[in-house]
Structure formats: structure tokens, C-alpha cells
Amino acid sequence: MGRLKFPTIFSTSNQLPKLPFANPNKKNLVNKPETQENGLANPVFRLLRLLMPGNKIDGGSRTEAEEKVCSWLYALAQSEKDIVFEYVQSTERGLSFAEAEKRLRESGPNVPLDYSFPRWWHLLWSAFFHPFNIILIVLSAISYFTSDSPNGCIMLVLVFISVSLRFYQEYSSSKAAKKLSEFVRCPVKVQRCAGRVIQTELIVQVDQRDVVPGDIVIFEPGNLFPGDVRLISSKHLVVSQASLTGESWTTEKTADIKEDPSTPLLDLKNICFMGTNVISGSGTGLVVSTGSKTYMSTIFSTIGKKKQPDDFEIGIRRISYVLVAVMLVVVTIIVVTAYCSAQNLSESVLFGISVASALTPQMLPLIVNSSLAKGALAMARDRCIVKSSTAIRDMGSMDILCIDKTGTLTMNRAIMVNHLDIWGLPKEKVLRFAFLNSYFNTDQKYPLDDAILAHVYTNGYRFQPSKWRKIDEIPFDFIRRRVCVILEVVGEDGNQHFQDQFMVTKGALEEVMRVCSFVEHVDKGVITTFSPEDYRRILSMSEEISNEGLRVIGVATKRLTTKETTNQSRLNYETLESDMVFLGLITFYDPPKDSAKQALWRLAEKGVKAKVLTGDSLSLAIKVCKEVGIRTTHVVTGPELELLNQDAFHETVKKATVLARLTPTQKLRVVQSLQTVGGHIVGFLGDGVNDSLALDAANVGISVDSGASVAKDFSDIILLEKDLNVLVAGVEHGRLTFGNTMKYIKMSVIANLGSIISLLIASLVLSNEPLTPKQLLTQNFLYSVGQIAIPWDKMEEDYVKIPPKWSEKGLPMFILWNGPVCTLCDVITLVFIWFYYKPASTTEGIKFFHSAWFIEGLLMQTLIIHLIRTEKIPFVQEFASWPVICSTILISAVGIAIPFTPIGAVMGFVSLPLSYFGFLVVLFLGYFFVGQIVKSIYIFLYKRWL
């Protein structure tokens, strides 16, 4: 897959000890890549890396690049403006055109990420190089060599499908990271200087790609910052950092400040970040970092990189290596034994090849892909799009689900809760004026206006807006953070002339109180001066309400005289919007979804713990979590996490259930900590650009159809509805898929190894081959076809209650306990045939033995699924699904019938006596009896079966 080149941010220097680097435009800011290793050894190391899992990332520590960029921005935020110009070697007039071109050549285009895509054949090789693909290709060649062309074609088709899907997914994933550049594509106004003798300052418009460190940029509402910027001047500047934080709240920025080192990075007032945008106000700024050296590029540096294989993939890979090793040993012994007995090298080699084919679980890719495809179709019916089929299996193993609060646990809409006066008592007058403001506000309706109107209409209030007329309106803006309407009211005599005029203001509590000089005691009808005690009491009440998870706005009024509104051609808003009377507070709440609590309870029942990772305030997150039943005994915020050392970070993340005010990188570290230190399979549900890091790193990335395009690109599963109940169904499908896959793996390895060991024993005991190559391949083909129904099998209820995980020691121990039972039955059959029927070493005697051994081996491999698939007694306490039962009956009937048909005669079989089938009935009853005893002991010792 394409690798995103993220070089180290800046080179070190000793000239300015306060900074991690200096003169960033005169020196090479990008460290050169490490030199390659010795040409002979390097390919060997590459091969070893393909076979070994990579190093795990420590989720509790920042990367070196991120540390450098944070140190650089903090140093600039704490420096005076003239010092900042020296750091980036620029002037207050800006860069000259020649200097800007020079820096552009040195630092490269100003794009957030540097993409380097490998050739298509590199991706194809990466998709192709998988042990089972290699085995299937070898076995396909063997099948053609042994004139078994249909089986060879099937294996080649499986390889083609597997490689094609893997190639497509990796190529698509590598290109998806490119969409991050969409956030910074815009023309930029830059101040440059020109002239050799007398320099003139010019304002020019350049492409964002051509902006370089040291440029002075001019920005207005709607502009995106083309790089990390240190503010030089600002006027009522309000910036949205939603692309980094994911939260819709805005932040004020100002140039006239020196920041404190303890201020969180995203709260720095004099630093603006690449990819954020101006909501209101204007200003100028000095570009201090561009391209891949910006904060946004650094935090998204892991986006699109290839994930390390999970335990399941590693386990499958190791199984394949073990099977190859066993295959080489056993086949060598069998070939040598057969040659010593028959002195026919070609026949011995053909028999050995047939044994190798029988040893390999040929249907594994088909079983896995069929199970995943079946799960994907089932989830599609639940309005869930599965982009990566392996995510279904990971969802089944998921034991922690990290979710954002807004829109997932809550309805993502405001509902009005109460209308309180300055003493915290519900007063209708506060609601009436808030309603009039929302009703007559026509410039732009906000969700809070809709909530107020809905509350009034649904609760039967009759405030008669027809008796009011709007004169003018002062719309909301992000500087004042208030909206005002000027109204007239009908006279009390009932005539249609208007006499009283009011200005009604509502908005952010602090901003509303800032323009108030009086407060009204609504219950007494008295207006008094706005005292410091009133101010502190209202703020304290607001803080208590906010701690309960509610949002608060203020309401104020002012009676106007006709002279104030008629003697001016244009209203002096700043004069009018002063000396107002503060009425009270309106509180709102984003309620939890009705389905959220039930869904979280169902997930908890299945062993999936929920952790809330949000950029919202801690109090609001706690309020919502209490409503939906998430424990809030262990909570933490992003700034608190920044102060912890590595060990404390991991321990805190392990215990915490609510993590608030998190940045994108903190969400990433939380996910990585849970994966690497906690050993959990982590799912992450997010829909914003700020969630891309965590979505890409999680075992299962989940987004919604209404989410940001980048978030959907890096997710594995897309929900068409924001409903956690869909995830509950996904978990069930995932565990069903995982369980059926494990059934096949354990059953096929036990059956195949047991069969091969039995063939080895029989070859050593007999002077002839137990089966001919053609008979062995036919037996293997019938058995493999019979396993196609496994993806349609069901799982027991107890199995889907806990997250299943791949155990490195589980499979070897499972084989050691259950494999000998199969071999024991084969040996008993060998002894019974030899001593009871005493077949002579003639052609007929050999055919009799081949026929008896063929049927017993096929029935053993076909019936073993019923013993392995359940912890209970098969056919007594638990039955398989109808597809599996029908498949068992069909394959068994075909296998028994072959020796009695002309096809059997062609293959070298003869008819068998009825007594032999009586022996098989007793044999398999004994097999299930002994197998169930071994199963019970195994479950008692290891506390699990599959």
C-alpha cells in the first residue's frame, strides 16, 4: 500500500537555545531518510519483516515529529512579534518574490501530506504473497499434474478472488488519505515586497500550494489558514477549529498576547492552525510552518499506513507454516516408504503429492470469504455498509467500543428545559421575551430558536405575537454572540396604533450580561442596578446548570423611546445595545436517544464495554453518560492526560469510561493504548475529520453516512443510521462468522492431520499404499465440498455472549487433545480389517482394503464437524443447521454408494459386506462417546471449547 512520507519536522540548531530548531528557511527542514542497509542483507530483512509482525506503537507517547512541532508553536506563542520574525527570517513587509520562490524550491509545495504511491505490481505482490495463496497455487499445479483439472481450476479461482479483493482494498485505502488536502485548497492573500532600491509592499493572491514559511497572510471571514500562523494583528477574530477538534464551538483569537506554557496547544490565542477557518473578524499572520511540517499534517501522519495484522491473521499464517513443515516431513516419509515397498518412484511421488493435497485445508479461503460475505449481506439488511469484510470478524472479537457523544448517544438537537429568573425560579416572562426574540428573528434561524418555539407551542403558551411588530433586527455574529430584535406592542385600548418599543436580546450569557446595567426581579416587578453580587450569583447558577449537562443562554430587554428609533437614519446599535435589563436564563439539553441505553445494555451483555471519547466538556459528557447508563466513576479530560507519564497514561485510560475534551491525537493514543497495552480489540465510532486518526487505527472503524468524507474513507463499516442497535447486530454477525471459521480451522486441521498420520501408520504397516492417489484425491474432494455449508451453520447462545479471541496456545492444545481420537479410530479400523477380514495380498484383497479405508476415512472427516461444532452432545442436546445436516447426509451417501457403482469399479473399488457397515456404526458411536469425554475434560481444564 502507498506509504505516506512524513519526515521529521525541523533540524536542530544551537543558535537559538529556546527553540528546538532555528532558521528553518535557510536550512534543510526535512531530515533525509535513513540510508539503506547493505544491498545483500536488505532483501533478507524485508522477507523476514513480511513473515513477522511489526513493533507495536506505544499509545501513551507522542511521536518525535509531534513533539517538535508542539515545541516550535509554543515557543512562537510565548515570543514577542519582532522575535518571531527573526525566527522565521522574515520582515514586517513580507518576503520578496525571489526569496519566496527560493523557499518554495527548498521546502516544496504547501500540501499537508507528501504522497508516494508504489507501482501497481508492488501492491499486487503484497496482495499475492500470502502462505495459503502459495499453497493453493502449488496444489493447483499438483492437481493438474495428477489429472484433477476441476479441483485445480477451483483453487486458482479462489486465489484470483482473494488477491483481487486485497489489491483493490489496499489501493483504495492508500488513495483515500489524499482527501485531507481538500481542507486547504483555496487562494490566499499574501503580502510581498518588491523593488531593489525602494521596496513597495504589495498584496497579491497566490495559490495555497505556493505559500511558504515567512509569508504574511491576510485573512477574512470564510478564509482557511494555509499553514500554521502566528498572529500579527487581529480584529474581533473568531476561528472554527472543527477540522481538528470535531466540535462546532468557535474560539476567539488575538495577536496581542503572550501565551503561558501551561495553555493547551489548541487553546493558544495567538496561533492559528492549518485547515482551520475564519468565522468572523479579520487580521494578518506570519506563516511559521507549511506542508508536512504543520500541526495538522503531523497529527494525521499515521493516516493511510498499513495496519499490522491482527492475531487471527497471524494465527492463520502460523498454521500454514506448521502445515507446510508437517507436509514436508510426512510426505517425505511416505514417499520413501512407498518407494521401498513398491520400488516405483513415479507412483510413490504421486501418492506423496496426493497426501500433501489432503493435508492442506483447501476450503479455508472459501469458508472464510463465504462467512464474511454472508455476514456482510446480513449487515446490509440492517442498513449497514461493510467496506472491509474482515471488519466483520474483528467486530465479533471487539470487546471495547469507543464512541463519540454527539449524535451517537444523543439526538444531536436541542430541547428547551427551563426558563429561570435571576434567582433560579421559573418565570413565564423570561420565556415570553425569549419566544418573541426567536419568533421575529428572521435573518437566520438557529437550533436554539426552534427549541424555544417548540417548547412554547407544545406546552400551550399563548404569547400572541400578532400584537407585536418588528421594527428592526441586529443579527447574530460571532463577535457579539447575541441576536437582538426591536419590537412595538399594541396599545392597551385595543386600537391598532403601536406605542411601547422594546429591544429584546438573547445570546451567550456573558455577552448578554456585558450589555446589562440593571436586573429585573420578575416576581416583584422591580428593576434594580446590576450589582457585583447579582453578577456572581448568576454566574454561579449558570455554572451549576452547566455541570448538570445543560446549555445556558441569557435574555435581556430594554424599553426604547420613539425618539431613539426615529431620529436616526440608521440605528446606532452599540448605543442602543447598552444599559439593558437582565431578565433571566433559558436552559437547553441535547437528550439521549431512546435506543442508546438499550443498545449499550445489550452490548454490555455481550462483553463489549463502552468508552465515551468526546471533545465536549466533561460535565456535559457525564450528564449524557448517566442518562444512558454508562458508569462515570472514572472520568478524565484531555488536558489532564497530557500531564501524565506513560505508565499513568495507560492506567488512566484502562480505568476511565468517560474521556472529554480530547484532541484527535489524544483519541488516537487512547485507542492505541487500549490495543497495545490492554490487549483489547477496539472499535471506534466517529464521523468527523478529527476522528480519522482513531478510525484508521482502530481494529474496527465505524462511521455514518452523514459523516465527513475523510472519516468514511478510513472507516471499515458505514452506518446508514446513527443507531447503536445496528452495532449489536454487527457484533452478533461477527461472532457467528468467527465461530464458524474456527469450526472449520480446528475440524480440518484435526481431521487432516489425523488422516495423514493414519496413512503414515498404514503405509509403514502394510506393504502397499492404503489408498491410490486418485482415491485419496476423490476422498479429499468430497470432504472439501461437504464443508461449504459451514458458513450457514448456527452458533450456540453461550458462544456469542463473550468476545471470541484467537489463542496462540489454544489451537495446538486443541489438536493434541482431539487429534489422537481420530487417529485411534483409523487404527482400530486398520486392525479390524486386517484381522477380521484378513484381506490377501492379491489385487482383490488390496481393492477391498482400499474400499473399506476410503469409506471410513470419508465418514470420519464428514462427521467430525458435528462433534467439534458444539460443547454439547451432538444429535442429542444440539443439532447443526439444516444446510450442514443435509451436506453431511449427502456426502456420506455419495461416499458409501461409490464402491457399489460403475464409477467405483473404475476407481478400483469393490462392494463391501453389510457386516462392515455394522462395524462402522459401532465405531462411530464409540468415536462420539470417547470424543465427548475428551471434550468434557478439555472444557473443564481450559474453560472453553471453540
Distance of CA 72 to the CA centre of its chain: 30
Give the Cα separation of 728 and 599 in Å (integer): 7
Residue 128 has which C-alpha cell? 499475492
Task: Return the C-alpha torsion angle 430, 433, 435, 438, nearest 10.
Answer: -130
Cβ atoms 151, 53 nearer than 8 A:
no
Nearest CA to 554 out of 587, 590, 520, 576 is that of 587
Helix (H, G, I), strand (E, B) or coil at 92: coil
Residue 225 has which C-alpha cell? 489558514
Cβ atoms 942, 813 nearer than 8 A:
yes
Cβ atoms 212, 290 nearer than 8 A:
yes
Give the Cα separation of 238 and 491 in Å (integer): 42
Q: Give 900's DSSP letter.
A: G
Nearest CA to 251 out of 226, 232, 270, 223 is that of 270
Rg for the chain, CA atoms, rounded: 37
Give the Cα separation of 863 and 783 in Å (integer): 10
Site of grid cell 454487527:
730
Give the Cα separation of 235 and 248 in Å (integer): 21
Give the Cα separation of 234 and 533 in Å (integer): 34
Residue 384's DSSP bridge partners are 719
CB-CB neighbours of 882 under 10 Å:
12
Residue 250 has which C-alpha cell? 468557535
Encode burial over 124-162: b for 16+ CB neighbours within 10 A, e otherwise: bebbbebbbbebbebbbebbeebebeebbebbbebbeeb
Nearest CA to 901 out of 909, 913, 891, 892 is that of 909
Nearest CA to 487 out of 437, 442, 449, 525 is that of 437
Residue 380 has which C-alpha cell? 446490509
Region of residue 236 (phi > 0: left; psi between -120 and 50: alpha; otherwise: beta) = left
798 labelled catalytic: no
Q: Tell me the C-alpha to C-alpha distance, in Å, between residue 703 and each of 281, 402, 489, 706.
A: 34, 12, 50, 8
Of the CA atoms within 13 Å of residue 495, those in its CB half-sphere come to 4
| Catalytic residue (one of 148, 310, 399, 404) | 404
Which positions are catalytic? 404
